[in-house]
A and B are shown apart, each in its own frame.
Chain A
Amino acid sequence: MWQVLYQDLEQLGFMVVAVAEESRGPDSARPWIEQAKPDYWSLIDPDHLVARLYGMTNVPQSVWIDEQGRVVRPAETAGSTDHFRRMDLKTRTMAPEDQAARQAARDAYFAAVREWARTGEHALPADAARAKQPKVTPEIAAAHAHFRLGTWLRAHGRQAEGDRHLKEASRLHPDSWNIWRQAADLDEVGKASGPEFWARVQALGDRPYYPPPDLPGFPR
């Protein structure tokens, strides 16, 4: 998907930088990257540095950066939708209309990316971009520090102590799916999308898992 986007638009001076938030390291991301055969940059981010720097809380989220290195669209959901929440958990399937709506949203998002590359459309003026930047509280800042320590301790064989810091990170920043799901994955592969994940998703109630971007084709 990103390879086609890049191939179609690179001559316009467009680049894709895809960052894998993978505290287990490159080998967890390797099968996907090798299959995608990317000509764009496909990078590995074990510390979730990019999420920290840009205030991202889930994957996939994207930031649009212009030729001057300015953020013209802050972190937002990159084409995913909440239709998966209505999935039949036994069969892991979605109703045809949900599948279609999900695909339409993905197409609308990437159509917007293409328009931006071609014409600059959808880039936000500075004030609007600033207003949309994620809000960082002292709790969120502390959560990132605990997450960094937790993943470091885990990577150095200190699982129990690391997990305490990962848990504290989630407590301080409960809205970060990146923190909770990465910690769950470190605990056990598959846990990030297991029963505890679904319970957390259900607990959202009316709140979105993937907040829709403020772009044409998405609900306001």
Chain B
Amino acid sequence: MTVVLTETDETEVAATGGLWLTAAEAERATGWTLKPEGMCRGEVCVPLPAGMAKGGRIDLAAFWRHMGHPVVSDDAGETWVLGTGAATRSEMLAGLEAPDFTLPDLDGKPHRLSDLRGRKVFLTTWASW
């Protein structure tokens, strides 16, 4: 099996020759859906360049880079990180909406930042190291 790591998720997929996935697997790993107009998520559609789809599969790594995002993989090509590109990240920061996240506490209980809407939040970081 191949592992795809996105910003927050980890998905096992059946890939061939790099990161060629069926449209269903690509959607499960990234939330992007293959439609006649291209790869779509929500209202946004990005045309899929020739060569990135073949025999019912999509070259997800190439498509991700095509969108301006970094892609890195392990030596065996079995673990892939689909990152977030500088332009996308900069746009999100410029929008000033606090990026949402869900993280566990010590007991593993998940907490979602956006559940605190209506309160002022002092978001702070620390580390043991």
What's the Cα separation between A51 and B103 when bound, in Å?
13
Known: A129-B96, A153-B79. A17 touches B86 (CB 8 A): no
- Count contacts on A: residues with CB < 8 A to the other chain: 82
| Partner pick for B86 among A34, A62, A67, A138, CB 8 A cutoff | A138
A148 to B128 CA separation, bound complex (whole angstroms): 19
B71 → A minimal CB distance (Å) = 7
8 Å CB contact of B111 from A24, A43, A129: A43
A181 in contact with B127 (CB, 8 Å)? yes
Among residues of B, the one whose C-beta sits closest to the C-beta of A118 is B120
- A138 and B83 CA atoms in complex are apart in Å by 11
Q: How far is the CA of A135 from the CA of B124 in the complex (A)?
A: 19
Whether the pair A13, B128 counts as a contact (CB closer than 8 A) is no
Q: Which of B73-109 contact A (CB under 8 A)?
A: 73-75, 79, 81, 83-86, 89-90, 92-94, 96-99, 101, 103-106, 108
Q: Is the CB of B72 within 8 A of A165?
A: yes
Contacts of A12 in B (CB 8 A): 120
Please determine whether B106 and A145 come into contact, CB atoms closer than 8 angstroms: no
Interface stretch, picked from A25-33, A90-98, A100-108, is: A25-33
In the complex, the chain A residue whose C-beta lies closest to that of B10 is A152
Within A153-189, the residues touching B (CB, 8 Å) are 153, 158, 161, 165, 178, 181-182, 184-185, 189
Partner of B98, one of A52, A62, A70, A153: A70
Tell me the chain B residues, 1-37 only, with Cβ under 8 Å from chain A: 3, 5, 7-8, 10
Contacts of B123 in A (CB 8 A): 17, 19, 50, 54, 62-65
Residue B52 at the A interface, CB < 8 A?
Answer: no
Are A56 and B125 in contact (CB-based, < 8 A)?
yes
Contact A161 B75 (CB under 8 A): yes
User: Closest Cβ of chain B: how far from A36's Cβ, in Å?
Assistant: 10
Check B117–A67 contact: CB distance below 8 A: yes
> Given that A16-B124, A60-B126, A182-B127 are known contacts, is A144 also in contact with B84, CB under 8 Å in the complex?
yes
Please judge, given known A-B contacts A65-B98, A142-B83, A145-B71, whether A113 and B126 are in contact too, CB under 8 Å.
Answer: no
Residues of A within 8 A of B98 (CB): 63, 65, 69-71
Query: How distant is B99 from chain A, measured CB to nearest CB, in Å?
Result: 4
**Interface of A with B (CB < 8 Å)?**
2, 5, 12-22, 24, 26, 28-30, 32-34, 41-45, 49-56, 59-71, 74, 78, 113, 116-117, 126, 129-130, 133-138, 140-142, 144-146, 148-149, 152-153, 158, 161, 165, 178, 181-182, 184-185, 189, 192-193
| Chain B contact residues, CB within 8 Å of chain A | 3, 5, 7-8, 10, 69-75, 79, 81, 83-86, 89-90, 92-94, 96-99, 101, 103-106, 108, 111, 113-114, 116-129
Give 12 A-B pairs besides A16-B124, A43-B103, A70-B98 with Cβ atoms closer than 8 angstroms.
A17-B121, A43-B104, A54-B93, A54-B123, A56-B125, A59-B125, A62-B125, A71-B97, A130-B93, A145-B83, A149-B74, A152-B10
> What are some 20 contacts across the A-B interface (CB < 8 A)?
A15-B116, A17-B116, A17-B121, A43-B103, A43-B111, A60-B125, A62-B122, A65-B121, A66-B120, A67-B120, A71-B98, A113-B122, A116-B120, A129-B96, A140-B86, A141-B83, A145-B83, A178-B127, A185-B128, A185-B129
